[in-house]
C-alpha cells in the first residue's frame, strides 16, 4: 500500500494537528477551531476524553469535583452550556475522619479574604488548638510580610517542611496527608514542599468563592467531551479516532509531519502534542532528544497508577459528601446520589510504589465492612455492586526536583507546542491544569498569527 500524505494545510487559514484527545487536547482544539484554525484531532482510542473516560460505558455515576479556584474549568463549562442548562453541581463540605471515628468539617465562612482563611483555620477542630494557633500566626506573618516561605521548598519533602513549622506527626497524617493525596495524588513523604504549598494555596489561602468544592453529578463525557466534540464538528474540524501517532518527522528544527500507524503522514502548520510524557518521548526524534534539555528532562518525570473503586449501595443519599481518610488504603470517599434510592461511593487510592497504600481486588470483599466501620453504610443496607478500575500512570510524581522537569507549553521547536495536565501550569495535574495547558497552546499559536 502506498502511504498516504494528508495535507491539512489550507490556503485561507492555518492548520493545526493535535495529538491526544484528552481534556488538554480537547481544550486546545476547541479554542483553535473557534479562532478559525483548521483542526485535526488524533486520538488512539475509539473515544475522546482521555484517561478518565472508559472504553465500555458504565451506567453508574461518574461524578467529578471542581474547585472554586478552577477558573479555566468553570469558564469552559459555562461556555459549553451557555444558553442551555448548566450541569447541576452541589457545594459539598470537606470532611476529615478522625481516629475516634468522628468526622470534622473544614469550616467555610464568608468573611472577606484574607480574614476568612484565618477564621476558618482557627475554627478547624481537626488540628489541636496549639498547632492551629501556631499555623494561623505563621499565615498572618506571611500576609503581613514579616515571614517568607523558605527558598528551598522544592528541595524538601512536604512532610519535612510541615514538621519544621510545628505540625505534629498526627496532624500530618490526619489532615495534611489526605489533603495532599486528594489534591495531587501524592503523599507528604514523597512530594516536595513547594508542590504541597502550591496545591493548598488556591483553595485555602484565597477568596471565599475559590475555596468552594463542588461535585458535578453528570459525567465528564456529558459536561465536556460531548459538547466540545459537537462544537468541533460544527467548525468542520477533523477527528481521527483509533488513530495512533507513531513518529514525528522533521526538517531542520521544524516538524514536517506526523507519521500515523496506518502509514499516513499528517502535515500542518502547527502541531500540539497533548499526550502523557511516556507516550510523547518515543515520538521525539533522537536528534532533538540529545540536543534539547527541554526534551531530555521529560524522561525524569515519573508517574504512578491510581485505582478507583465505585461502590453502589441500596440507601438514599441524604447529602453528598467528600471525606478525606487517613491510615486506610483509600485517601478519599466521594459520596453522591447515583439514583433517588441509591448512593454511589467513589473510593480513590494512588498506587504509589513508594507509599504503603496499595490495594487490590482481594480487598473488595472487605469493602462493605470497611464502609460500615466508617459509618457510611447502615447494617441493614445492601451493597449492589463494587467495581474497581486502575488507571495506569494517572498520577504525576511531584517529588522534590520534579517541578523543573515539567515543561512549559512552548517547546524549542518553532511549530510544536506541548499540552497536558502534567506540563508546567502552576497547578497539580488535574482538570484545571489540562485545560489551562490546552488554552495556553492555543493562545501561543494565535499570538504568532500573521497579520
Ligand X SMILES: Cc1cc2nc3c(=O)[nH]c(=O)nc-3n(C[C@H](O)[C@H](O)[C@H](O)COP(=O)(O)OP(=O)(O)OC[C@H]3O[C@@H](n4cnc5c(N)ncnc54)[C@H](O)[C@@H]3O)c2cc1C
Q: Which residues bind ligand X (CB under 6 A)?
A: 19-25, 42-45, 50-52, 64-65, 244-245, 274-276, 279, 306, 308, 348, 391, 394, 420-421, 429-432, 434
Please state the closest distance from residue 425 (CB atom) to ligand X, in A: 10
Question: Please, which residue, 331 or 342, has the CB nearer to ligand X?
Answer: 331
Encode burial over 99-109: b for 16+ CB neighbours within 10 A, e otherwise: eeeebbebeee
Question: Is 22:420 a contact under the CB 8 Å cutoff?
Answer: yes
Question: Please, which residue, 164 or 299, has the CB nearer to ligand X?
Answer: 299
Question: Is 351:198 a contact under the CB 8 Å cutoff?
Answer: no
**From CA 294, how far away is CA 296, in angstroms rounded?**
6
Of 207, 195, 184, which is closest to residue 109 (Cα–Cα)? 207
The residues, any chain, with a CB within 8 Å of residue 191's CB and separated by 6 or more, are 157, 158, 180, 184, 397, 398, 399
Question: Is 30:235 a contact under the CB 8 Å cutoff?
Answer: no
**Which cell is 312 given?**
453502589
Please state the closest distance from residue 281 (CB atom) to ligand X, in A: 11
In the block, residue with C-alpha cell 483542526: 39
Question: Please, which residue, 172 or 276, has the CB nearer to ligand X?
Answer: 276
Question: Please, which residue, 121 or 216, has the CB nearer to ligand X?
Answer: 216
Please state the closest distance from residue 124 (CB atom) to ligand X, in A: 23
Question: Please, which residue, 167 or 181, has the CB nearer to ligand X?
Answer: 181
Question: Please, which residue, 188 or 221, has the CB nearer to ligand X?
Answer: 221
Please state the closest distance from residue 341 (CB atom) to ligand X, in A: 25
The residues, any chain, with a CB within 8 Å of residue 71's CB and separated by 6 or more, are 432
**From CA 182, how far away is CA 175, in angstroms rounded?**
11
Please state the closest distance from residue 96 (CB atom) to ligand X, in A: 18
Please state the closest distance from residue 50 (CB atom) to ligand X, in A: 2
Please state the closest distance from residue 111 (CB atom) to ligand X, in A: 27
Dihedral (CA of 361, 362, 365, 368) sign: negative
Question: Is 104:126 a contact under the CB 8 Å cutoff?
Answer: yes
Question: Please, which residue, 18 or 127, has the CB nearer to ligand X?
Answer: 18
Question: Please, which residue, 72 or 159, has the CB nearer to ligand X?
Answer: 72
Question: Please, which residue, 167 or 357, has the CB nearer to ligand X?
Answer: 357
Backbone angles phi, psi at 338, to 5 degrees: -90, -20
Q: How far is CA 110 from the centre of its chain?
A: 27
Please state the closest distance from residue 429 (CB atom) to ligand X, in A: 5
Please state the closest distance from residue 161 (CB atom) to ligand X, in A: 25
Please state the closest distance from residue 308 (CB atom) to ligand X, in A: 5
Tally of CA atoms within 13 A in the half-sphere of 3 that contains its CB: 12
Question: Please, which residue, 24 or 136, has the CB nearer to ligand X?
Answer: 24
Amino acid at each position: 500500500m502506498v502511504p498516504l500524505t494528508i495535507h491539512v494545510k489550507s490556503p485561507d487559514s492555518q492548520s493545526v494537528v493535535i495529538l491526544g484527545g484528552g481534556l488538554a487536547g480537547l481544550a486546545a482544539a476547541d479554542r483553535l477551531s473557534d479562532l478559525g484554525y483548521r483542526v485535526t484531532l488524533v486520538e488512539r482510542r475509539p473515544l475522546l476524553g482521555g484517561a478518565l473516560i472508559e472504553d465500555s460505558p458504565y451506567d453508574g455515576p461518574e461524578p467529578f469535583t471542581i474547585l472554586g479556584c478552577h477558573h479555566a474549568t468553570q469558564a469552559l463549562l459555562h461556555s459549553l452550556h451557555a444558553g442551555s442548562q448548566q450541569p447541576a453541581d452541589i457545594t459539598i463540605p470537606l470532611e476529615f475522619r478522625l481516629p475516634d471515628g468522628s468526622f470534622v468539617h473544614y469550616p467555610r465562612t464568608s468573611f472577606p479574604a484574607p480574614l476568612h482563611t484565618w477564621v476558618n483555620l482557627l475554627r478547624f477542630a481537626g488540628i489541636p488548638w496549639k498547632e492551629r494557633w501556631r499555623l494561623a500566626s505563621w499565615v498572618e506573618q506571611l500576609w503581613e510580610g514579616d515571614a517568607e516561605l523558605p527558598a528551598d521548598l522544592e528541595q524538601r519533602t512536604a512532610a519535612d517542611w510541615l514538621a519544621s513549622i510545628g505540625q505534629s506527626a498526627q496532624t500530618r497524617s490526619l489532615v495534611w496527608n489526605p489533603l495532599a493525596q486528594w489534591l495531587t495524588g501524592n503523599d507528604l513523604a514523597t512530594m516536595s514542599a513547594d508542590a504541597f504549598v502550591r496545591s493548598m494555596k488556591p483553595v485555602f489561602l484565597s477568596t471565599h468563592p475559590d475555596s468552594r468544592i463542588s461535585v458535578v453529578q453528570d459525567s465528564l463525557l456529558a459536561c465536556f467531551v460531548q459538547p466540545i466534540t459537537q462544537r468541533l464538528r460544527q467548525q468542520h474540524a477533523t477527528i481521527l479516532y483509533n488513530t495512533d501517532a507513531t513518529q514525528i518527522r522533521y526538517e531542520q528544527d521544524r516538524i514536517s509531519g506526523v507519521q500515523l500507524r496506518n502509514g499516513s503522514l499528517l502535515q500542518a502548520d502547527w502541531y500540539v502534542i497533548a499526550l502523557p510524557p511516556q507516550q510523547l518521548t518515543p515520538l521525539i526524534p533522537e536528534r532533538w532528544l540529545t540536543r534539547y534539555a527541554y526534551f531530555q528532562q521529560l524522561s525524569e518525570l515519573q508517574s504512578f497508577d491510581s485505582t478507583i473503586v465505585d461502590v453502589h449501595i441500596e440507601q438514599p443519599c441524604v447529602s453528598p459528601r467528600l471525606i478525606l481518610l487517613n491510615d486506610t488504603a483509600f485517601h478519599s470517599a466521594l459520596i453522591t446520589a447515583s439514583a433517588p434510592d441509591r448512593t454511589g461511593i467513589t473510593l480513590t487510592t494512588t498506587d504509589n510504589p513508594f507509599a504503603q497504600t496499595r490495594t487490590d481486588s482481594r480487598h473488595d470483599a472487605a469493602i462493605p465492612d470497611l464502609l460500615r466501620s466508617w459509618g457510611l453504610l447502615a447494617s441493614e443496607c445492601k451493597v449492589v455492586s463494587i467495581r474497581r478500575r486502575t488507571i495506569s500512570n494517572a498520577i504525576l510524581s511531584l517529588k522534590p526536583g520534579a517541578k523543573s522537569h515539567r515543561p512549559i507549553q512552548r517547546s524549542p521547536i518553532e511549530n510544536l507546542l506541548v499540552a497536558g495536565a502534567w506540563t508546567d501550569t502552576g497547578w497539580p495535574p488535574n482538570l484545571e491544569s489540562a485545560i489551562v495547558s490546552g488554552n495556553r497552546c492555543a493562545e501561543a499559536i494565535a499570538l504568532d498569527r500573521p497579520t
